Amino acid sequence: MSNIIIAGSSGRMGLALLDATIRDPELKLHAALDRADCPQLSKDAGEFFGAPCGVRITSDLQAALQGANVLVDFTRPEPSLVYLEACRRAGVGMVIGTTGFNSAEKETIAAAAREIPIVFAPNMSVGVTLLINLVQSAAKVLSEGYDIEIIEAHHRHKVDAPSGTALRLGEAAASALGRDLASCAVYGREGVTGERDPSTIGFATVRGGDVVGDHTVLFAGIGERVELTHKASSRATFALGALRAAKFISGKKNGLFDMQDVLGLK
């Protein structure tokens, strides 16, 4: 049985992770982490679901790491990097679902993975992982005469745009076409932009309400469109995927993995 730490445990995603961990007979909730000014600090993590579990929310990272196997993190880049360094020193694996990292921060994660096992993916959903594969296949077939646009929608509280998932979908399409997403991505259009460059991959972002996460990759040709869409109606899908990833790296010494590794799609 793996001992799991949930970071950001009182947040929207943290609560979904807590609930899924407590329910999973193959996992043990070892610690629930949150920031020092969290109003729920010292509260029993199980009380959120009406049944105390004996694990209280804490901000003591070092104490939480003692005896742990995997830390699951869906917070922000800044605290994620703090958790990463602490896990590296303690020899504790990580599942990182945080988005918004820059290139240098991603390199830091890759470097840490030489010492500890890490699953790093912008979306832990099994369905989204499959979507990434489908986008790669579609891009190879629709490589000529089809314009690629990625449309994503999330709740009003999301702070990064485009979403990490949208960017990963863009990377999947670009790699299948032999392109570099950094060079061909278009993130906004306004005014007189001229005709669309067929070599570009466009992104459109919607923010509002309580949308958990919608992603569509549109291949628009002459006389037809192919749309590949994933819609999440609950954060539980991300939590279940993240815990599947935690089980995958339990017992591993090191390595950088993504959800395609977890699901055996590579």
Q: Are residues 133 and 90 in the same domain?
A: no
Contact 132, 168 (CB under 8 A): yes
Residue 113 shares a structural domain with residue 172 = no
CATH code for the domain of 114: 3.40.50.720
Residues 137 and 108 in one domain: no
DSSP lists the bridge partners of residue 229 as 216
Q: Which range of residues forms the domain containing residue 40?
A: 2-120+235-262
pLDDT over 80 (residue 266): no
Kind and range of the H or E run holding 40: none
pLDDT band at 122 (very low <50, low <70, confident <90, very high): confident
Number of domains in the chain: 2
The answer to whether residues 59 and 142 belong to one domain is no
Assess whether 253 carries a catalytic annotation.
no
Distances 215 to 114, 165, 189, 240 between C-alpha atoms, Å:
32, 8, 19, 19
* Confidence at 107, pLDDT banded by 50, 70, 90: very high
Same domain, 138 and 248: no
pLDDT on residue 209 = 97
| Residues 226 and 242 reside in one and the same domain | no
The distance of Cα 145 from the centroid of its chain, to the nearest Å, equals: 32
Q: Is 231 a catalytic residue?
A: no
Q: What share of the chain is helix, strand, coil (3-state, %, to 5)?
A: 35, 25, 40
CATH of the domain at 222: 3.30.360.10
Looking at 28, 43, 158, 252, which residue is catalytic? 158
- Active-site option among 30, 154, 215, 230: 154
